[in-house]
Amino acid sequence: MNGYAKVQRPDPCVMELVSRLAQEPWTDRPASVHPVLGAVARAVHDHSSSAGRRELLPLAPQFLDTARPGFEPSARLVALCVSTALTSGEITGDERRRLEAAHRTAMHLLGAEEHPAGAARWWLPVLGHRSEAFYRTFVATEHAAEAVAVTARTANDVRLRSLLKLCLAAQPKPSCSASAQKSGS
């Protein structure tokens, strides 16, 4: 036992490793990781084999300091995961409708579609300034996790890990001034 984990397991989640690297309490939801990116990582972990889970661990440092507010990072991750899921072979009609609505909402938030889809057309205007946190914390995490689960039906560990790497690559890079301020603190 390493002092951080409450329970020793053979396959630690990559998010738990990130929490340790970030010197946060042992958790699979570290504060330094964007919630949607964390949801994708947990879903990929859950749908991977033991060997596939071990292959995720070297990605841990790339998750550090990805927690940024704003609709764009969340919507970009949802659009990426949902696009991947919609091209998978096994998808039910209900899943397709939910994922297409999630994609339209994400594209709306990215400025590519005029009107949001599904329930977002109601909660976006009602929540006002709180809508971004609601989307990032609840809606987008569920959309991304469902998209990974749908993708996992026809994907192997390599394809799931590739999706996670694409999500990491889609994260905005910290600005030089932000990095300098952080290292100067």
Per-residue pLDDT of the chain (185 residues; tens, 9 = 90+): 344 445 556 667 999 999 999 999 999 999 999 999 999 999 999 999 999 999 999 999 999 999 999 999 999 999 999 999 999 878 999 999 999 999 999 999 999 888 888 888 888 889 988 999 999 999 999 999 999 999 999 999 999 999 999 999 999 876 554 444 444 44
Contact 62, 18 (CB under 8 A): no
pLDDT at 11: 67
Nearest to 76 by CA among 183, 176, 171, 161: 171
Q: For 146-181, how does the pLDDT look when each residue is reduced to its tens digit (9 = 90+)?
A: 999 999 999 999 999 999 999 999 998 765 544 444
* Dihedral over alpha carbons 120, 125, 127, 133 (to 10 degrees): 60
Q: 86-92 long-range CB contacts below 8 Å, 24 or more apart? A: 88/150, 88/151, 88/153, 88/154, 88/155, 89/153, 89/154, 90/150, 90/153, 90/154, 91/150
Q: Which residues make Cβ contacts (< 8 Å) with residue 113, sequence separation at least 6?
A: 104, 107
Q: For 34-49, how does the pLDDT look when each residue is reduced to its tens digit (9 = 90+)?
A: 999 999 999 999 999 9
pLDDT at 9: 60
pLDDT at 177: 42
pLDDT at 183: 46
